[in-house]
Structure 1
Amino acid sequence: MKRGHCSTCCEGAASYDREEAVNQTIERAKEILTRYDGPHCRIMEVCGTHTHEIFRQGIRRILPRQIELISGPGCPVCVTPVGYIDEAIWLALEKGATVCTFGDLVRVPGTEASLQTARGEGAAVKVVYTPLDAERYAAEHPDEEVVFLSVGFETTTPSACLAVRKAQQDGIRNFSLLTANKTMPGAYEAMKDSTDLFLYPGHVHAITGTGICEKLAEEGVSGVCAGFTASELLTALAVAVTRYQEGKPFFVNCYPRVVRPDGSPKAQSLVAAMMEPCDEEWRGIGIIPDSGMKLKESCQMYDARTRFQVPEMAGRANPACRCGQVLKGELLPTQCRVFGKACTPEHPVGACMVSSEGACSAWYLYGQNL
């Protein structure tokens, strides 16, 4: 008689084994971190999602004082300069454009107002989930000029390019991008003297690959690439402090299931075909050469600045806001005198309190019980 097996039982056993392995990894990483007794180690959480998840998972509470976590410039909404918000408001109020944007940007303060207050003055501001939603809206409303606020890093830039390509294919002529797309290598260079090592954002390097991290390690800048679950973050931090004690520069990819050395060649090719590097302003940091991405001349009809001849706008941040220093790891959000008082998620003074990836938002939600 031929014996079979129960697939349900086998799958259940495999699931149990995986869960057990994850639990063992978590416990081992926690042990390494809680028992760490090495030199002071300053780790920059480049990614705002890492900041929120480290808080949410309670990881900060188990770290000894020698391990210091600081915020970095990895929240795209947070590093978008005030002048960009002013440009968007100008397009909506002066040119009558329908501004399509991700939700976080609506409440970010400009020099005098936010898109939310401009909406109260009659501006057409529409929240969308993807750039393709904005392109679709433009196709369905040919009498409106539709501008998508294209912010983000290497992770989201390909989707903006896809929207422009779709508009080209569909013959849509009432759609454009107001770009503030940024790339991370320049920010790493700008921030490398502010930290002992980087906690690199896994989703960015899923697109770019690990080449820049390896190059920085050769130049003496250490870091680990991390995922976003408790297990992945604990493992990355444990690896980071273990290697840090060795006293030599290093890079470790702790997110190999997603991040490959060459990243996503298809996404890289799409962006290279439609965009080119440009100098870009980062809130709190200033202009970083070649750290931005703008549409190439072949796509200029989809560039809102060219299409509407947008005037240059420097923008002025509220002088009480310390977001710039928070984004450089120079101070904790709680050290800002308006944090939790004049500046709250309901009434934000700066972008870091608005964004779901912002450091001030994370400290407001989770950090007051530390």
Structure 2
Amino acid sequence: MENSVSEAKDIITSYHGPNLRIMEVCGTHTHEIFRLGIRKLLPESIRLISGPGCPVCVTPVGYIDEAILLALKHHAVICTFGDLIRVPGSEMSLAGARQQGAEIKMVYSPLDSEEYAKEHPEKNVVFLAVGFETTTPAACLAVKKARKDGLQNYSLLVANKTMPNAYLALKDSADAFLYPGHVNAIAGTAVCEELVKKGISGVVTGFTAGELLTALAVILKLSASGKPFFRNCYPRVVRPDGNPAAQAVMREVMEPCDTEWRGLGIIRGSGLRLREPYHSFDARLRYALPKITGHSSLLCRCGEVLQGKCRPNDCKVFGTGCTPQHPIGACMVSNEGACSAYYQYGGTENG
């Protein structure tokens, strides 16, 4: 089904069907829907829920604690994407560890961290590998390059995740998903088609106003049947087979495992870890890290936000005790976080 922007807008604004909960899984979708004013078009019967598609937001507190331990006790240089630096751990953030003398380096790609380790053989370098199918192939390539370059001072602290089992865990939280276009550009559409067989509906879409409006209109039209469905509304980027080369390097370097998601707990088979031939690049094994169970602030409701159980502005400290300048939770830190979007755009239920 294809609609012009005006047709899609008409379908949305004239909707008079039953209440629907639509989860925009991708944090970029959340921000764009706010920025474009799409929430203001929605009737009261349509509720948009911000899901766990922000990799920084779903990374558990214990992971931050592991990174701080590597930095302060083992004196490793921590290379990371910028958002993770300010995410609170149990006692402090990586920014706080930096104030205590830790060497924390922001990079734009895992390959940047590998190059830094190559240029500084006297330093032990750890890259914080977080993210979904979109960013995982680059981390795998960095590990392969490190092995090729014979690096002995480079490793990954792995917290990469895959989305399919998260959708199953959130099955009862939404009536349909807006699937993340970037993830499906790598993974393809077969996974979403399989989810239909398990009663899960969704549409994969891009990030323009036309693409988002069309996807929402498609969900409203197809929901009327009462049957599970899937549509690819991002065919210019998402192909049925995804990116086979990226999938191949992920299979070569990493394997599935159970892993913890902030707010969702342990989701079986949703994590990734380095395969045995690459164990020498596993920071947990190299530094014999203990099992760390972190704890977030009792004031933080990020876990409930990520499950769709509450909106960011339902939180008592939202916009007062918790702001982008002084975040209490990860969802306020990340540029893709739901709390950040609500704060930036003054979000209400549909505004």
Same fold, TM-score > 0.5, yes or no: yes
The Cα shift of 1:285 comes to 0.6
Give the match for residue 279 of structure 2. 300
Give the unaligned 5+ runs of structure 2.
none
Task: State the Cα deviation string for residues 151-177 of structure 1 (Å, max 9, x = none).
Answer: 000110000000011111111111100
Out of 70, 80, 87, the position equivalent to 2:66 is 87
Letter of the aligned partner of 1:116 in structure 2?
Answer: A
Letter of the aligned partner of 2:201 in structure 1?
Answer: S
Give aligned-pair identity as a percent: 64
Out of 58, 81, 100, the position equivalent to 2:79 is 100
- Counterparts of 1:125 and 1:319, CA distance in 2: 27
- Counterparts of 1:346 and 1:221, CA distance in 2: 38
Matched, 1:280 2:259: yes
Give the match for residue 233 of structure 1. 212
Letter of the aligned partner of 1:196 in structure 2?
Answer: D
The Cα shift of 1:333 comes to 0.2
Matched, 1:312 2:291: yes
The Cα shift of 1:38 comes to 1.0
Letter of the aligned partner of 1:338 in structure 2?
Answer: V
Letter of the aligned partner of 2:163 in structure 1?
Answer: M
Contact in 1 for aligned 2:341/2:347 (Cα 8 Å):
no
Give the match for residue 43 of structure 2. 64
> How many correspondences in the alignment?
348
Give the match for residue 202 of structure 1. 181
Give the match for residue 119 of structure 1. 98
Letter of the aligned partner of 2:245 in structure 1?
Answer: K
Q: Please give the secondary structure, in 1, of the residue aligned with 2:290.
A: coil
- Counterparts of 1:75 and 1:367, CA distance in 2: 20
Out of 314, 331, 344, the position equivalent to 1:352 is 331
TM-score by length of 1: 0.93
Task: State the Cα deviation string for residues 72-102 of structure 1 (Å, max 9, x = none).
Answer: 1111000000000000000000000000000
Out of 197, 200, 213, the position equivalent to 1:221 is 200
The Cα shift of 1:212 comes to 1.5
- Counterparts of 2:223 and 2:256, CA distance in 1: 34
The Cα shift of 1:311 comes to 1.0
Q: Please give the secondary structure, in 2, of the residue aligned with 1:42.
A: strand
Out of 336, 342, 345, the position equivalent to 1:363 is 342
Give the match for residue 114 of structure 2. 135
- Counterparts of 2:347 and 2:267, CA distance in 1: 33
- Counterparts of 1:150 and 1:222, CA distance in 2: 30
- Counterparts of 1:212 and 1:276, CA distance in 2: 17
Give the match for residue 29 of structure 2. 50
The Cα shift of 1:27 comes to 1.2
- Counterparts of 1:215 and 1:269, CA distance in 2: 20
Letter of the aligned partner of 2:180 in structure 1?
Answer: P
Task: State the Cα deviation string for residues 173-216 of structure 1 (Å, max 9, x = none).
Answer: 11100000000011001001111011100111111111121111
- Counterparts of 1:265 and 1:68, CA distance in 2: 35
Out of 51, 55, 77, the position equivalent to 1:76 is 55
- Counterparts of 1:289 and 1:218, CA distance in 2: 19
Indicate the RMSD between aligned Cα atoms, in angstroms: 1.1
User: Which range moved further: 325-334 or 168-177?
Assistant: 168-177
Q: Please give the secondary structure, in 2, of the residue aligned with 1:71.
A: strand
- Counterparts of 1:248 and 1:269, CA distance in 2: 34
The Cα shift of 1:219 comes to 2.0
- Counterparts of 1:306 and 1:271, CA distance in 2: 20
Query: After TM superposition, what 4+ stretches of structure 1 lie above 6 angstroms from structure 2?
Result: none
The Cα shift of 1:367 comes to 2.9
Rg larger in structure = 1
Give the unaligned 5+ runs of structure 1.
1-21
- Counterparts of 2:92 and 2:200, CA distance in 1: 40
The Cα shift of 1:246 comes to 2.1
Letter of the aligned partner of 1:79 in structure 2?
Answer: V
Give the match for residue 263 of structure 1. 242
Task: State the Cα deviation string for residues 266-316 of structure 1 (Å, max 9, x = none).
Answer: 111101011111110000010011110000110011100001111111001
- Counterparts of 2:157 and 2:199, CA distance in 1: 37
Matched, 1:334 2:309: no
Letter of the aligned partner of 2:155 in structure 1?
Answer: S
Matched, 1:30 2:2: no
The Cα shift of 1:221 comes to 1.2
Task: State the Cα deviation string for residues 41-64 of structure 1 (Å, max 9, x = none).
Answer: 110111111100100111001111
TM-score by length of 2: 0.98
Out of 152, 155, 158, the position equivalent to 1:176 is 155
- Counterparts of 2:22 and 2:148, CA distance in 1: 45
Matched, 1:249 2:228: yes
The Cα shift of 1:220 comes to 1.7
